[in-house]
Amino acid sequence: MPNYYQPEIETASREEILRIQNEKIVKQVRHVYDNVKYYRDLMDKKGVKPEDIKSVDDIKKLPFISKDDLREAYPYGFLGTDIKNCVRIQSTSGTTGKRVVAFYTQHDIDLWEECCARAIVAAGGTNEDVCHVCYGYGLFTGGPGLNGGSHKVGCLTLPMSSGNTERQIQFLMDLQATILCCTPSYAAYIGEALAEKGYKPEDNKLKAGIFGAEPWTEEMRRSIEKSLGIKAYDIYGLTETSGPGVSFECSEQTGMHINEDHFYAEIIDPDTGEVLPEGSKGELVFTSLDKEAFPLLRYRTRDICILTRKKCSCGRTHVKMSKPLGRSDDMLIIRGVNVFPSQIETVLLNEGYSPNYQITVDRVNNTDTLDVDVELLPEQFSDKMGEIQHMEKSLEDAMRAMLGIKPRIHLVAPKTVVRSEGKAVRVIDKRKLHD
Ligand code: DLL
């Protein structure tokens, strides 16, 4: 039986969703125009007035905004309300340049937490669950978002934050956690650490995991589901739009329902800005529909996705987005070939290797190099040089078939690739250092 947190809106007819969106967009655009000078200037420059926006169909008339705009307006330039109405800030995990700082009123926090509650209920959560949250707490939105959603559902919430895997495992087992929330790379690590302690997947009480904040493949999903004995659900979001919960997976596990009563999604051609029809692959753009403190109109996420309104067996009617298929800005171009780290991960898992790897890109004598350190599983480990070389070669061939170029593979001993407790840093691009 499908479960909903807010059944009325989650299963509303398309006409009803559109009616809500049309009503909200008019107010949201007026709110932004009246309160956010930075965006008002952009609208004026484009010659668009708030009264030109009568429905979501008119959104395409509005100017885009990007991370660069947010950086330029840092810290208060996009604030949509008086600071005295704000109760919280969160910030991006970015390590380069100025961080994005997002503001929240209590109304904004309530809506955000409701979105996360929808995700938890879609994963089977009820007030009988013990929800172990080991996304980072603090400025990062993962911990606070899922923590708030878990409270709203009425789960017993373990606000673990990230790190200290020993302690994570002790609480997870002792308190018999049933839902695990963290990045997929950390979930894989927890699975591995449990196995090392001699636990089998059936020894824990977990039934579901809610994993997001970084790209992960279907192969990675299957591997986590197996190691923890759970069903693994994807969750998506970004600080700019409030945090996790912009979209979430349901029992069908074929994409994430976007909470369309709060966010309007478009897919555009990243080069021309042209809005693409449903089913096309392109850059995801979000418009908030009812935010007070940090409303963003036509925010370019840089995430490459596909949207679909195909009927979903879970009964939800909100549009679904594919897993992000990469980013328009972190796609690697190596010797002219576009390479997504997720393609490398897919090959590794298909070939029976672990999801612990590190990609290094460099430029030597004006030629790009691609090196991948791949950790061997204990049972693959061998001290025979010939065997290792043979495995490296066959993995290189499998990579070439997928990527179109051949990386250098280095099989390394178990436990030598650094584990991440938050978002995994999969790629080191040394070319940037030479530029
Ligand atoms: O990562 C919010 C979040 C926390 C989402 C916990 C899910 C769970 P930022 O740090 O601002 O916010 O990073 C946002 O992370 O534009 C995507 O590129 C990527 N991302 C987020 N969720 C997913 C996902 C949080 N499920 C950026 N799959 C986004 C792939 C994801 N990429």
The two structure tokens encoding residue 11? 């299963």
Helices 218-228 and 341-350, packing angle to 10 deg: 50
3-state secondary structure of 266: strand
Task: Tell me the pTM.
Answer: 0.87
pLDDT at residue 2, rounded to an integer: 65
Which residue owns the Cα nearest ligand 1 atom 4? 142
Helix H or strand E encompassing 304: strand 299-308
Classify strands 231-238 and 243-249 as parallel, antiparallel or unpaired: antiparallel
What single-letter DSSP state applies at residue 275?
Answer: B
pLDDT at residue 383, rounded to an integer: 87
pLDDT at residue 434, rounded to an integer: 52
pLDDT tens series, the chain, 435 aa: 569 999 999 999 999 999 999 999 999 999 999 999 999 999 999 999 999 999 999 999 999 999 889 989 999 999 999 999 999 999 986 544 567 899 999 999 999 999 999 999 999 999 999 999 999 999 999 999 999 999 999 999 999 999 899 999 999 999 999 999 999 989 999 999 999 999 999 999 999 999 999 888 898 899 999 999 999 999 999 999 999 999 999 999 999 999 999 999 999 999 999 999 999 999 999 999 999 999 999 999 999 999 999 999 999 999 999 999 877 766 787 877 778 888 899 999 999 999 899 999 998 877 789 999 999 999 999 888 999 999 999 999 999 998 888 999 999 999 999 988 888 889 999 986 554
Taken in order 419, 422, 428, 433, the sign of the CA dihedral is: negative
How far from the centroid of its chain's Cα atoms is residue 170's Cα? 27
Amino acid code (one letter) for 77? G
257 C-alpha to ligand 1 centroid (Å): 15
183 C-alpha to ligand 1 centroid (Å): 9
Pocket residue to mutate for ligand 1, from 211, 238, 328, most atoms within 8 A of Cβ? 238
**Domains by residue range for the chain, with CATH:** 1-328 (3.40.50.12780), 332-433 (3.30.300.30)
3-state secondary structure of 321: strand
pLDDT at residue 95, rounded to an integer: 43
Atom of ligand 1 nearest to the CA of 246: 5
Comparing C-alpha atoms, which of 121, 159, 85 is closest to residue 11? 121
93 C-alpha to ligand 1 centroid (Å): 10
3-state secondary structure of 254: coil
142 C-alpha to ligand 1 centroid (Å): 9
**Which residues surround ligand 1 with Cβ inside 6 Å?**
92-93, 135, 141-142, 212-215, 234-239, 243-244, 301, 303, 323-324, 327
